[in-house]
Amino acid sequence: MFAARAVRTAPGFGRRAASAIALKYSNALFGAALSKSPQTLTKIQTELAAVSAAIAQDAKVSAFVANPTLSANERAAGLASLYSTLESKKTPVSEITKNLLLVLSQNGRLGEAPGVIEGFNELVAAHNGELTVTVTSAAPLPRDVQTRLETTLKQSETAKQAKSVKIVNKVNPTVLGGLIVDFGDKTVDLSVQSRITKLNSVLTQSV
C-alpha cells in the first residue's frame, strides 16, 4: 500500500526540508486513510501525533528511528516497543499506521517518519480547508512580530480562500536571519542564508 521508490533530495531550510520520498508516503497514507472514512483520517492523525511525541521525547525511540542499519529482527523489536509505548498511553495503533511504519522500516526509511507525518498533516489540513503557514526563523519570533505577520498573511488571496489560517513558527539557526515563509505550494525565502548562497554563486561564476 505504501511502497515507494527511494529518492535523494538536497536538504532545505524551511518546511520543505522533507524529502520527496517522505511526501510520497504522506500521499499514500492520506489516500489509504481517506478511502476508509473521515473518522479514520482523524484517528490516523491522532496516532501519528503520538508517534511524533514519542520520537521527540523518548531518546530510545529517536535513536531507533534514526538508525537505518538495524537487522530485520531489531527493526521488528523496535516497532513492537514503539507500539507498546503508544498503547501504554491509551493510543491504540491501527493497521494503517502499523503498515506505514512497517514499510518505512523495511525500506530503511524510518528516519523519514517526521517528514511523512508533517506532509500527512498538511494534506489533512488542506482537505479540511485549513491553510498552515510555516514561518522559519533563526530564533523564536517575538509575539508582536508574529501578530503583525499573521495579520499581513491573512490578507493574501491564498489565505482568503481558506476556511482558517494557522501560523506555525519553526526555529532553524542555519537561516542565520530573516524568514522563510511556506504556505500552500509556495515558498518565500527572505533568509540571510539564501542571500549568502546567492552571493557565493555569483562570486563563483565571476572567478
Q: What is the pLDDT of residue 49?
A: 93
C-alpha cell at 199: 552571493
For residue 78, pLDDT beyond 80: yes
Residue 83 near residue 98 (C-beta atoms within 8 A):
yes
pLDDT in tens, 127-136: 888 887 888 8
Measure the CA–CA gap between 47 and 42, rounded to whole angstroms: 9
**pLDDT-wise least confident of 85-89, 92-96, 121-125:** 85-89
Distance of CA 7 to the CA centre of its chain: 17
Torsion of CA 196, 201, 203, 207, to 10 degrees: 160
| CATH code for the structural domain at 15-125 | 1.10.520.20
177 has a pLDDT exceeding 70: yes
Residue boundaries of the structural domains of the chain: 15-125, 130-206
